[in-house]
């Protein structure tokens, strides 16, 4: 028995994996990873995989990065953790100062949670609570875009719209307003991204005009709807949204959990629209992909609405046990140092251009409807019929064939349904990008070559997060 096999058997006897139908592992091998280095992961049999998705979009500077490792080690020797209520520590203070300085102007306070979904909950609760404290208790509802994803906890699911994750739990969720997404994949032929995104804003304007008296906040994933299939839109939508939220007295929550820290080509996606949201949520790459942590930044206006004598009960009495963990803060500080010292945003421009060139030919593939890109995120949408963008039935799991081919070739590509995407760590080389483009291209050929027969049950999800 191989080493992989032995670990897999021990694993499958006791673990329940995330976002997985465990029965799949009767056929699909589980890959136990022994070590990581740079863009590479290595399994227990010594096979290497190029991590093209940054381990679920968190890793930006490679695995076992010496600079991040050193910072965490040093922190470990002085303080591993202390509660953040009534106490504080150097890394959390330094990190908060630097996040306030780096994020769009006007964001002056940082509240921490320990994962992205919890960060979303914090922003939703703070917005709701702000309006109560301000004597506007009728503002209780949230507006979200179709095809959004904001995490897995109850309220985060409520503002999400990826059917696979939320449909089952519908009876448990908050009632939200869903507005059609500015997603440019769906634009009519010949219409630019900008014109389409601008035109789609009419739906948002309409909802805000009609219901602003009962709306606390609008929540969006700026520029890229990640788990919904790496769908993209133009920054003009965010500019219009900021202006309308101001006009109607509604908060704007920017979920930059996936897109923050350079993914869209700027450090934060909101910069491309020149806007400051009322809440900005960061996680994933915040710690370089090392440790779970989320930061929720907000304005002085929001902060002041909670600042009063204790007996007024206006305080935000929300806590996560590991709030502001010093080791996670140390990882984040080292990550910010690398962004600064290596001029990463500047260097990524060349890498992003290279990625675009390496994948451009895929647009001519008979089963590819679109190759789209925003900065260091590139997505390739496979379809059954290119002429009218007819999607493959989700039950056919075309992406799974790409996933399996990539593993055999030594790459970790984990499509979202029929959307193959590259979200590589920024330490990737042009040659490694070429390798990924080649593997993706071969995988797409294999996945789209022949008819797949499946027993199709009625209904079902439109897109999904697992290697469909």
Q: Which residues bind ligand PLP (CB under 6 A)?
A: 115-117, 120, 149-152, 221, 226-227, 255, 257-258, 283
Cβ of residue 447: shortest distance to ligand PLP, in angstroms?
24
- Smaller CB separation from ligand PLP, 373 or 404: 373
Place of tokens 């509802």: 141
In the annotated binding site for pyridoxal 5'-phosphate, the residues are 116-117, 255, 320-321
| Residue number with CB closer to ligand PLP (18 or 459) | 18
Q: Which is nearer to ligand PLP, 145 or 215 (CB)?
A: 145
Nearer to ligand PLP, 71 or 465 (CB): 465
Identify the CA nearest to 233 among candidates 202, 264, 268.
264
User: Can you tell me the distance from the alpha carbon of 230 to that of 232, in angstroms, rounded to the nearest whole number?
Assistant: 6
Which tokens is 380 given? Answer: 């390739």
Q: In angstroms, what is the minimal distance from the CB of 405 to ligand PLP?
A: 25
> Residue 183: how many CB atoms within 10 A of its CB?
19
Answer for the pair 465, 19: CB distance below 8 angstroms, yes or no.
Answer: yes
**Which residue, 7 or 421, has its beta carbon nearer to ligand PLP?**
421
For the bound state, the minimum distance from the C-beta of residue 328 to ligand PLP, rounded and expressed in Å, comes to 12
- Nearer Cβ to ligand PLP (120/302): 120
Nearest residue to ligand PLP, using CB?
Answer: 116
Question: Minimum Å distance from CB 144 to ligand PLP?
Answer: 12
Q: From the CB of 289, what's the least distance to ligand PLP, in Å?
A: 11
d(CA 270, CA 259): 10
Q: How far is the CB of 151 from ligand PLP (least distance, A)?
A: 3
CB nearer to ligand PLP: pick between 16 and 310: 16
Sheet holding 411-412, edge to edge: 33-37, 40-43, 48-51, 411-412
Nearer to ligand PLP, 8 or 227 (CB): 227
Nearest distance from C-beta of residue 417 to ligand PLP, angstroms? 15
Per the annotation, where are the binding residues?
56, 116-117, 149, 255, 284, 319-321, 414
Nearest-approach distance from CB 294 to ligand PLP, in angstroms: 7
Neighbouring CB atoms inside 10 A of 385's CB total 12
Annotated binding site for substrate: 56, 149, 284, 319, 414
């Amino acid at each position: 028995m191989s080493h992989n096999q032995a670990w897999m058997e021990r694993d499958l006897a006791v673990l329940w994996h995330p976002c997985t139908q465990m029965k799949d592992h009767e056929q699909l091998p589980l890959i136990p990873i022994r070590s990581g280095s740079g863009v590479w992961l290595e399994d227990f049999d010594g096979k290497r995989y190029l991590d093209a998705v940054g381990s679920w979009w968190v890793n930006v500077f490679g695995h076992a990065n010496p600079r991040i490792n050193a910072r965490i080690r040093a922190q470990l020797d002085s303080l591993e953790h202390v509660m953040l209520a009534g106490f504080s520590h150097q890394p959390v203070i330094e990190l908060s100062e630097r996040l306030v300085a780096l994020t769009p102007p006007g964001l002056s306070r940082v509240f921490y949670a320990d994962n992205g979904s919890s960060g979303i909950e914090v922003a939703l609760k703070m917005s709701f609570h702000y309006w109560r404290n301000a004597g506007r208790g009728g503002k209780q509802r949230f507006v979200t875009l179709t095809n959004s994803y904001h995490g897995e906890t109850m309220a985060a699911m409520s503002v999400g719209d990826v059917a696979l994750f939320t449909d089952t739990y519908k009876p448990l969720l908050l009632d939200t307003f869903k507005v059609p997404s500015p997603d440019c994949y769906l634009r009519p032929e010949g219409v630019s991204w900008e014109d389409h995104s601008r035109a789609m804003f009419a739906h948002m304007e309409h909802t805000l005009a009609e219901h602003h008296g009962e709306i606390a906040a609008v929540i969006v994933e700026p520029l890229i709807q990640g788990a919904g299939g790496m769908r993209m839109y133009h920054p003009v939508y965010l500019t219009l949204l900021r202006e309308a939220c101001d006009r109607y007295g509604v908060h704007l929550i920017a979920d930059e959990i996936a897109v923050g820290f350079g993914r869209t080509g700027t450090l934060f996606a909101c910069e491309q629209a020149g806007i400051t949201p009322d809440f900005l949520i960061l996680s994933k790459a915040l710690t370089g992909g090392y440790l779970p942590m989320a930061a929720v930044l907000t304005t002085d206006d929001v902060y002041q609405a909670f600042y009063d004598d204790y007996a007024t009960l206006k305080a935000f009495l929300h806590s996560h046990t590991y709030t502001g963990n010093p080791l996670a803060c140390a990882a984040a500080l080292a990550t910010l140092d690398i962004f600064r010292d290596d001029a990463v945003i500047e260097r990524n421009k060349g890498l992003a251009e290279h990625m675009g060139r390496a994948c451009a030919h895929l647009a001519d593939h008979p089963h590819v409807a679109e190759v789209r890109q925003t900065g260091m995120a590139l997505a390739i949408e496979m379809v059954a019929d290119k002429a009218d963008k007819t999607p493959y039935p989700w039950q056919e799991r075309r992406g799974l064939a790409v996933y399996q081919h990539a593993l055999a070739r030594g790459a970790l590509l984990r499509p979202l349904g029929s959307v193959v995407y590259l979200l590589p760590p920024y330490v990737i080389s042009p040659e490694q990008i070429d390798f990924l483009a080649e593997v993706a291209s071969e995988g797409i050929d294999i996945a789209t070559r022949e008819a797949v027969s499946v027993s199709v049950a009625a209904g079902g999800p439109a897109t999904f997060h697992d290697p469909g």
